[in-house]
């Protein structure tokens, strides 16, 4: 195996994905920063380069089969065959069930589930050939149920089943698959949730600090740290798991 391994992080222009890309770069990976908007991904790439790491920005919609194939081909030729994949790209289209449109249902399923499937299918042969691979799928505490998120919670629960099946199918090739289920992480996505609820983001954070056992909301780096562990060589006996990164259970 070459000394520099390649990792792909989707939805890495900002938020959790950007923190994961930075962390994997500092762990020594060459990182493909995949996002819808390639220009937006440049900021993450520049930050990685400033810290001495290696990365490329790749524009792709993870729900589009052709764009996924083209993106992974580019990663192979510019950085090398990927052995780590973090399926992090995500959107929310929240509404109460009785008001939810089919478009909002489909959009969320496409990015989270179809996107994770297409990306994973596109890279699995590289991992099998390397006899080493680490797949990390971004689920959510919403998988346990969350008002106004019937589409998102179904997709995030679906990702947990997807993860466990990948672990069963790919384990004998040295490939692990795990899911991370973050709770409240301070990003644009939770800021959008506050706006939907008609709340100031600061008030939503204050409510989170009261409800979360460790007394604070999460930061993207909390999730990145867990990805770093799951992607590490020594985590090879951890597979098919869902790790809740949520500051403790809420009663
Ligand atoms: P974010 O700040 O909204 O970032 C998500 C990124 O994904 C954006 O850069 C977005 O691009 C990109 N993206 C969306 N659709 C895409 C597509 N089809 N193809 C490629 N990229 C796409 O969200 P975040 O809070 O960092 O969340 C990251 C992941 O963690 C998501 O899967 C989310 O569901 C999950 N999560 C977040 C929290 C939380 O509290 N924040 C909690 C649990 C789970 P654009 O900017 O162009 O839309």
Ligand 1 center–CA 143 separation, angstroms? 16
Ligand 1 center–CA 247 separation, angstroms? 20
pLDDT at 4 (0 to 100): 84
Question: Which residues make beta-bridge pairs with 87?
Answer: 137
Closest C-alpha among 125, 137, 181 to residue 9: 137
Q: Please, is 187 exposed, middle or buried when counting C-beta atoms within 10 Å of its C-beta (0-12, 13-18, 19+)?
A: buried
pLDDT at 1 (0 to 100): 45
State the pLDDT confidence band at 196, using cuts at 50, 70 and 90. Answer: confident
Q: What is the mean pLDDT of residues 185-191?
A: 97
- Domain range summary for the chain, segments of one domain joined by +: 6-183+218-245, 186-217
Ligand 1 center–CA 115 separation, angstroms? 12
Report domain 6-183+218-245's class.
alpha beta
User: What count of Cα atoms within 13 Å lies in the side-chain half-sphere of residue 35?
Assistant: 23
Q: Please state the atom number of ligand 1 nearest to the C-alpha of residue 220.
A: 26
Answer yes or no: is the C-beta of 247 below 6 A from any ligand 1 atom. no
Q: Please, is 171 exposed, middle or buried when counting C-beta atoms within 10 Å of its C-beta (0-12, 13-18, 19+)?
A: middle
pLDDT of 147-160, one tens digit each? 999 999 999 999 99
Q: What is the mean pLDDT of residues 85-105?
A: 98
pLDDT at 19 (0 to 100): 98
Q: What is the mean pLDDT of residues 88-112?
A: 98
Q: What is the mean pLDDT of residues 16-38?
A: 98
Q: Is the pTM of this model over 0.85?
A: yes
């Amino acid at each position: 195996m070459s000394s520099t391994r390649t990792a792909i992080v989707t939805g890495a222009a900002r938020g959790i994905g950007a923190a994961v890309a930075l962390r994997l770069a500092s762990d020594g990976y060459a990182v493909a920063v995949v996002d819808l908007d390639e220009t937006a991904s440049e900021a993450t790439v520049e930050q990685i380069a400033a810290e001495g790491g290696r990365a490329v920005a790749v524009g792709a919609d993870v729900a589009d089969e052709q764009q996924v194939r083209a993106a992974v081909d580019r990663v192979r030729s510019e950085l090398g065959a990927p052995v780590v994949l973090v399926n992090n790209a995500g959107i929310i289209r929240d509404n109460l069930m009785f008001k939810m449109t089919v478009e909002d249902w489909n959009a969320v399923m496409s990015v989270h589930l179809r996107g994770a499937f297409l990306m994973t299918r596109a890279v699995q042969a590289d991992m099998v050939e390397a006899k080493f691979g680490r797949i990390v799928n971004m689920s959510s505490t919403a998988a346990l149920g969350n008002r106004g998120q019937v589409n998102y919670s179904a997709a995030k629960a679906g990702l947990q089943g997807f993860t466990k099946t990948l672990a069963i199918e790919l384990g004998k090739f040295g490939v692990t698959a795990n899911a991370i289920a973050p709770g409240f992480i301070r990003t644009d996505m939770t800021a959008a949730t506050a706006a939907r609820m008609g709340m100031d983001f600061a008030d939503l954070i204050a409510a989170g600090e009261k409800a979360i056992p460790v007394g604070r909301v999460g930061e993207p780096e909390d999730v990145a740290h867990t990805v770093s562990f799951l992607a590490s060589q020594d985590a090879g006996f951890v597979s098919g798991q869902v790790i809740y990164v949520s500051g403790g259970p809420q009663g």
